[in-house]
Structure 1
Amino acid sequence: MEQTCNPILWAKVQEIWSALERPDPTFHVHFCGNTKPMVSTQQDRVRESLEDYNSFEVHHHSLDSIVQMFLERKKPKIDAELRAVDKNYFERSDGNIRGIICTFEANEIVKLITDPEDEGKVRHDAFNDNVRVYLTKRNAVNKKIYETALSDESSEFWYLNNGITMTCDSFSYIPGRRSPKISLTNVQIVNGGQTSNALFEAHLNDPDKLENVLVLGRIYETRNRDITSKIAEATNSQTPINTRDLHSNDDIQKKLEESFRDLGLFYERKARQHSKEPKNKRIDALSAGQSHLAYSHGLPEVAKKDRARVFRDLYGTIFNNEVTPQQLLVSLRIYDEIQIRKRTLQKKIRNKEKVDASLLFLIDGGYHVLFAVHELCEVRGIDPYDLAEARKFIPAATDIVKTLVKDEMADDETFTTNRFFKDLKTKTKIQRLVLAEAPKKKVAKKTRARTRPSENPRSSLKNSASESGR
């Protein structure tokens, strides 16, 4: 045989003969197809032929599975041990998947994702199967995770966080023991990457604070890559709960709903909550918050470009015990009238009708016109929450913003309304024009008394405005 086969094959034959001399040798038979794997009927035939021999294991390969093998080889495998808390664990098994739900100390998760070569860095290989990268603690949700972990209420973390989901090739532990060590082979964090990284950053800041932080953990054992992918997809793709939804059951939101109902209106704490009611009777909480932010708090650029802040960091500024339905309603109704002008303009553009080009700024600048209405009321001593009086200033406010846009376009050849109305300086320029057109005897008085909420986004409504709104 040595004389009739090539040297490489001869070396392999000798390896096989050496293996046969050991007790209980095992055989792995590989069937490789250049496109598809062996059809199921023939796989069954092979299995039946070898099932009497315990030492045989059969593997079937296709082009896809071979490619996957190469990819798997490039991906480092992470083996780890995690200690569960007390006897707080539950296991179940179904066919080719097995799972355990348990509680871990936060430091156990930190240990899992710490780079073995640099304890100040995260081991990013632990998140190869995660669908998202870490968004840093500047992200509002991650910032809250970080702050909760380091707060005096850190013991509540387990109840406030969704926990961490991991997959692995296998896990093992001694059942029945308190705080068992769970050994994991080829573990991946497929959901909870944001939580894990935020806890890591909290650990770097103050590791002692994490001693009281507990995290819910789900571990799934499967070697089936399709199931692993499904777990990663399912645990990351469920309908997200946005910040508006989280605030929808606040007392302030419920009170506003009741107050608007007394006015014959339907306040929507939740999106499309009263979708069956007439549109002109519905008050959307987000739209009302945006208008109020621009009108009462002098933040038109935020209302335009970052409306998500209405239910995030500016929520307490807009929706507090001082705000009244009248204030929300007036700002929203005035903005609605401005929007009618904008929609009329857009309709003419779609129908290719002639339009006044000087009014095109309304497409991006509606909230700044709304802001100008409030400014005009202020300098003229008019109650800004008197809807009948305030709406009379819409034409004047429109003209002021139109003049400002015209001047800016003349001075800057790269001018765009989109950029202009996102600029913090724009509202200051509007204020100057408003003051320039105001009655002289009132200008000085209002200039001295005026303190813009825009300088302090967290400032509350002025008492006078609140009282007049009531």
Structure 2
Amino acid sequence: MANNDVIFLNNLLTQKKDEFDNSLSDDEFFELFSFDQILKKYDLSYDELSYGDVDGGDDGGIDGFFFFINDEMIYEKPNLNSFQKYSNLDLFIIQSKSSSSFSEKVFDRVISTVRDIFNLEKSLDSLKKVYNTELLEKASLFRDTYLGIASSHPILNIYFVCSSKGDASSINIKVANRANNLKEVLMDYFSGANIEIKYYGVRELINSSRVAKEYTLPLKFEETLSKGDNSYIVLSNLIDYYKFVTDDNEDIRRYIFESNVRDYQGGVEVNKDIKGSLESRDNLDFWWLNNGINILSSNASIVGKTIHLENVQIVNGLQTTFSIWNYLKEKHRDLENEKRSILIKIIVLDQSLSETRDRIIKATNFQTAIQTASLRATDQIQRDIEEYFLSKGLFYDRRKNYYKNIGKNATSIISIQLLSQAFMAIILREPHNARAKPASLIKEDSTYDKIFNKSIQPEVYLFQSNTPLACCGDGKLPR
């Protein structure tokens, strides 16, 4: 570790803390910052980072508890029938301390906790006097979900991640031995799982923070048709499109997908058809059998056989994209011999034309099997709330992470989910549903229509936006 690395990291933390929420203590912010860097590929919102935070009294040595199915963070028991065989289930258990080294003591508490919360013969209710509510709720959700999809043979990956201001390149032998002990305990409960111990020290945190989201991307194409400077139709080789939507680690750039249509539904019929088309050995080109991809961009320029797109947002074609990604990444095909193409429609649109943008998103997705609930953020009432909040100095994050990505302070950002929870708990007087089913509030028509309708004055939403934040005496965003 270079001598100046700690100084660089501390300066970075000070800067980011001012952007995020300077009311947090240094240790609290280091924790959330660590979560954000460790889980960077998932593009989590401030609410999601805080949701997985289980730190506090009786946390059993665990600060963060996050799990994902096919890269989607799980808040509540999902529809288990929607998952295909061999879905990926990734569990992250995070221990974060702003100390200058990694200690074997970290593992002592966690090993004991793991023996409690992952022993399926032990009731979590019997542990209420031992562990805090947040940890037990997350453990219960993980248990129920894992058992619920066990018959579909999920691929379980468990990561125990330690973060500190220490040097991850020279782990003490005592620490390494205790880490192996933890790995063995986890193997006792999940014998078929892939288990990995990771360390994020000063250098790893700095490097992760420097990985910027790239919204200006080049796309190679084979043929193009254009009506002018604001619209293009291109045919792109499947390999070139794969490179366009993935980063250097071959992970999907989730942030370039319109947040309202991000939910990949691996087991649905349309994806089986796409997979069948990709695996077919006939001579039909892929674009003959697929509706293609729709992309919005603020600017486009063509040089040779490459189109350079600024502020890329893929607004339709997520299922196709993920199917292509899964096919090419997991099959390790002979990529040099892949000659098939994908049809891509590109619309160049001024970013200030938000209403036009929403109309395009809604229209292109109504032509597919996407659930109406996924398009809530394009509703007129959602735009009205966003504009009203802006006039009051608040940022309504109807488009996930839009305001986070442009550097707005976390305490001024209100998500659709958080506003829905507050309304359900206070106005509708159903706090149990607000806490137990946070993600379902805007998915179900019956609850959505109660929370968001034009008969409700905007001042009511403004009041609700202040209430949950004011309730957080520890300065953290609400769980």
TM-score, length-normalised on structure 1? 0.31
Q: Please identify which structure carries the higher helix content.
A: 1
Kindly indicate whether structure 1 or structure 2 has the higher relative contact order, using CA contacts under 8 Å at least 6 residues apart: 2
Larger Rg: 1
